[in-house]
Amino acid sequence: MRKIKFRGLTINGEWVIGLLSISQGAGSQPEKGHYISNSAGMPWAYRVQPKTVGRYTDLKDKNDKEIYEEDIVKLGSNTFVVQWSDSRAGWMAFSETEMGTGLAQGYRNSMEIIGNIYENPELLK
């Protein structure tokens, strides 16, 4: 069964993983913003920077590390960013020189996470 979860960078600069909630700040809701909850759910949730929220791809790299949207992965000698493609309805690995390579669990033995676009943008150059 596919695991639905998200990763995001908190306002304090720590990565958290869990379920995503977006509060409009109405009534008894928390302040308007994006939140990722721990296993207990709201109100035990962390406010995250919206631009850093990424979905879990349901794939793992060769080191059994979970791959999230906007992770930077190494496939052979090439570096790619993992993103969802609406037109191909699947997770793709994009580079500056290639349109996109479809990701599948078959790549698991050769794919390695080396960073993400928020903390390591220099890896894309």
Do 28 and 79 lie in one domain? The reply is no
In the numeric block, the tokens 């699947």 are attached to: 90
Do 60 and 120 lie in one domain? The reply is yes
**Is residue 124's pLDDT more than 90?**
no
Q: With helix as H, strand as E and coil as C, how does 43-93 read?
A: CCEEEECHHHCEEEEEEECCCCCEEECCEEEEECCEEEEEEEECCCCEEEE
Q: What pLDDT shows up at residue 52?
A: 96
Do 78 and 108 lie in one domain? The reply is yes
**Is residue 15's pLDDT more than 70?**
yes
Do 30 and 59 lie in one domain? The reply is no
Q: 48: number of CA atoms within 13 Å, CB side?
A: 26
Confidence class of residue 64 from pLDDT cuts 50, 70 and 90? very high
* CATH code assigned at 93: 2.30.30.290
By residue range, what is the domain housing residue 77? 55-124
Query: Looking at the 3D structure of the chain, how many domains does it have?
Result: 2
